[in-house]
């Protein structure tokens, strides 16, 4: 691999990292917005569906896990 190829590969990797981080940040906001308009019954249904699909965790929306990954990814880009 030439130096130019390595530089191009690194730039592509960094661009992908930024795109993925941006999408995760948008999803994080979308989930927060949805929660603000959901009734307690709707939130319970969401939690039940997550459990049934095997996507449950300590919290219904995995807010803390997602927030930690966003923070880590944001810090690594500065």
What is the DSSP annotation of 26-76? HHHHHHHHHHHH--HHHHHHHHHHHHHTT---SSSS-HHHHHHHHHHHHHH
Our count of domains for the chain comes to 1
Which residues span the domain enclosing 29? Answer: 3-76
Asked if the model's pLDDT at residue 61 lies above 90, the reply is: no
Which pTM does this prediction carry? Answer: 0.77
pLDDT digit string, tens, across residues 2-54:
999 999 999 999 999 999 999 999 999 999 999 999 999 999 998 889 889 88
């Amino acid at each position: 691999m030439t130096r130019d190829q390595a530089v191009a590969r690194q730039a592509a990797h960094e661009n992908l990292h930024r795109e993925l981080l941006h999408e995760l940040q948008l999803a994080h906001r979308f989930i927060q917005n949805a929660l603000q308009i959901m009734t307690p019954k709707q939130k319970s249904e969401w939690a039940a569906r997550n459990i049934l699909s095997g996507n449950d965790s300590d919290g219904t929306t995995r807010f803390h896990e997602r927030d930690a990954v966003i923070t880590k990814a944001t810090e690594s880009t500065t």
